[in-house]
């Protein structure tokens, strides 16, 4: 069982470190796990059979040392005038018992060992603890260091100090981890009413029928009508290996329960199952507000930016010349677009101020998410990486939308008609000229007279007029249906802005989902850890002899 306790705590420590590194827990969470002391009395001894470890504790002047001296039949613990407060621990142990497995961090200079040959106490290791109510904080620290290694705590009071607050705080803090015996020492100064009052006080603390003994351990006069003999017999009865094993097992289960409780608290620190849904909802409502503000702030800039993409100035003859003239003009427009669009899109539409507003919106969301009472370093770290990726990505998307719109201005039918009319502006005049040439040659060949009649002024005028109309009509129509580069640029800027804002939304939502995957993985590991710890048998029912010693 002790191995189960150590294994469970080690696994929880490893899990907590992983959760801290992932940003889901604060660094102090590790101390919460370490604060659960997994030590048990059996760890002090190498063999399977061990003595019962009994510790005396109480306030200054209640007579712990004199009680221990009476048990030993000799002055093994310093008392009275020799020391007003205990400054170390005295261990009264049989010569057959070896305490050779104390933790390395124990202050060995604070341990005094008194060896004895009294077989009466061969199965009991007595510990005289320092006065926990001393002004010396090191005394209390020493007591708390030793408490996990004690089976039975003997709470010693005096008639004047049985309501001592320090003792009650210790009882409330560690009450369920140990078995308890209670002694009112210096009973020669006591009154039965005090015993009844103390008995009622213990019952209110959770002890249904506490074992309370009244003793008088003044070495200068013999005790009369006290309960020392009953106390002695009770302790020796508890020094049975079966009862020791029962106390050991109960202590393991108590500490295992504390570890499970700590694990449950850590699990709650990761938030409930709806945490990610709330974060996503919070982001969407938060982003909707910022997105509208950014859109409104940039809308007025788009027309001015689009005007920079108007057709470049060209000579009259180049703008109206069919065929090659139009190709030259189109090539010039393409070069202007390639050389200027990137700078305009980057510097004007998604400038540093706009990108900063997007970044601030993400930072504000992380700040609002902290209101969930959940450690949000995981969310902050993940979104920080995504915030760093956004500027270049948004600029790229904005420029791609602009370039795509400029490459295909207008509607599909408009571009098709514009292309057809361009061809017609070239082909129709050529067709007219071809027809006129054919008529001229054919008429001359078939003529028996003078062929000069076909070169008359009327024929030439009609041919020129028809040729001009064949070019002018499609050219004018082509100009009317020509897709506007300004409109295309405006549409490109608008689409680029929409794409950039939508990308920001999806980028952050995917970041939240990524954080959720880490959280789900951590919870799965913790649930497996808890399941492994809970797969062992439950704590057995305590025997009657032990029940009277337990709190709660």
| Low-confidence residues in the chain, pLDDT < 50 | 79-85, 314, 316-322, 324-326, 328-329, 337-347
Closest CA to 414 of 500, 508, 491: 491
pLDDT at 301: 82
Give domain limits for the chain.
36-238, 272-410+484-536, 412-482
pLDDT at 207: 83
The angle subtended at Cα 413 by Cα 407 and Cα 414, nearest 5°, is: 60
Give the bridge partners for 115, in sequence order.
93
What is the C-alpha to C-alpha distance for residues 552 and 547, in angstroms, rounded to an integer? 9
Topology of the domain covering 36-238: Rossmann fold (3.40.50)
* Number of other residues whose CB lies within 10 A of the CB of residue 122: 16
What is the C-alpha to C-alpha distance for residues 485 and 319, in angstroms, rounded to an integer? 15
What is the C-alpha to C-alpha distance for residues 266 and 261, in angstroms, rounded to an integer? 9
pLDDT at 510: 93
pLDDT at 411: 79
pLDDT at 329: 45
Q: Which residues contact 381 (CB under 8 A, 6 or more apart)?
A: 23
pLDDT at 80: 40
Residue 157, classified by CB atoms within 10 Å of its CB into exposed (0-12), middle (13-18) or buried (19+), is buried
pLDDT at 136: 62
pLDDT, tens digit (0-9, with 9 covering 90-100), for 276-320: 999 999 999 999 999 998 888 888 888 888 888 876 654 544 444
pLDDT at 184: 93
Closest CA to 139 of 217, 198, 74, 83: 83
What is the C-alpha to C-alpha distance for residues 61 and 161, in angstroms, rounded to an integer? 9
pLDDT at 182: 92
What is the C-alpha to C-alpha distance for residues 146 and 170, in angstroms, rounded to an integer? 13
pLDDT, tens digit (0-9, with 9 covering 90-100), for 228-259: 999 999 998 888 888 888 888 888 888 888 88
The angle subtended at Cα 344 by Cα 342 and Cα 349, nearest 5°, is: 110
Q: Is the pTM of this model over 0.75?
A: no
């Amino acid at each position: 069982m002790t191995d189960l306790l150590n294994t469970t705590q080690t696994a929880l420590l490893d899990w907590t470190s992983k959760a801290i590194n992932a940003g889901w827990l604060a660094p102090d969470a590790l101390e919460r796990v370490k604060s659960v002391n997994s030590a048990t009395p059996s760890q002090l001894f190498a063999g399977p059979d061990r003595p019962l470890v009994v510790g005396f504790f109480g306030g200054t002047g209640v007579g712990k040392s004199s009680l221990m001296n009476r048990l030993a039949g000799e002055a093994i613990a310093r008392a009275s005038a020799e020391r007003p407060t205990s400054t170390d621990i005295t261990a009264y142990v049989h010569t057959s018992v070896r305490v050779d497995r104390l933790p390395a961090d124990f202050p060995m200079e604070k341990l005094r060992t008194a060896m004895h040959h009294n077989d009466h106490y061969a199965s009991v290791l007595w510990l005289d603890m320092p006065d926990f109510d001393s002004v010396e904080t090191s005394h209390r620290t020493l007591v708390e260091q030793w408490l996990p290694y004690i089976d039975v705590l003997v709470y010693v009071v005096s008639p004047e100090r049985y309501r001592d607050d320090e003792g009650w705080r210790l009882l409330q803090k560690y009450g369920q981890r140990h078995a308890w015996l209670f002694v009112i020492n210096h009973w020669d100064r006591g009154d039965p009413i005090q015993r009844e009052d103390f008995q009622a006080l213990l019952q209110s603390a959770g002890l249904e029928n506490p074992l309370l003994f009244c003793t008088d351990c003044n070495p200068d006069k013999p005790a009369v009508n006290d309960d020392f003999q009953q106390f002695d017999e009770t302790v020796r009865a508890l020094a049975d290996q079966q009862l020791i094993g029962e106390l050991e097992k109960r202590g393991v289960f108590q500490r295992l329960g504390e570890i499970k409780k700590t694990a449950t608290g850590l699990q709650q620190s990761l938030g409930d199952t709806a945490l990610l849904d709330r974060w996503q909802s919070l982001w969407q409502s938060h982003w909707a507000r910022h997105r509208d503000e950014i859109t409104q702030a940039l809308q007025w800039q788009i027309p001015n930016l689009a005007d920079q993409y108007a057709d470049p100035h060209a000579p009259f003859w180049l703008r109206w010349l069919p065929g090659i003239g139009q190709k030259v003009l189109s090539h010039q427009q393409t070069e202007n677009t390639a050389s200027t669009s990137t700078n305009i899109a980057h510097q004007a539409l998604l400038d540093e101020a706009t990108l900063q507003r997007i970044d601030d919106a993400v930072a504000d969301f992380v700040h609002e998410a902290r209101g969930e009472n959940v450690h949000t370093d995981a969310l902050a770290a993940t979104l920080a990486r995504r915030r760093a990726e956004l500027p270049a990505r948004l600029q790229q998307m904005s420029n791609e939308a602009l370039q795509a719109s400029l490459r295909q201005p207008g509607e599909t039918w408009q571009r098709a008609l514009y292309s057809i009319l361009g061809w017609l502006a070239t082909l129709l005049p050529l067709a007219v000229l071809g027809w006129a040439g054919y008529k001229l040659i054919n008429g001359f060949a078939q003529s028996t007279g003078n062929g000069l009649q076909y070169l008359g002024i009327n024929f030439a005028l009609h041919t020129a007029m028809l040729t001009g109309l064949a070019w002018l009509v499609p050219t004018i129509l082509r100009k009317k249906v020509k897709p506007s580069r300004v409109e295309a640029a405006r549409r490109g800027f608008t689409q680029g802005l929409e794409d950039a804002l939508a990308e920001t939304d999806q980028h952050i939502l995917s970041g939240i989902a990524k954080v959720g995957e880490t959280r789900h993985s951590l919870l799965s590991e913790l649930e497996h850890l808890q399941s492994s710890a809970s797969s062992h048998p439950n704590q057995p029912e305590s025997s009657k002899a032990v029940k009277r010693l337990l709190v709660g």
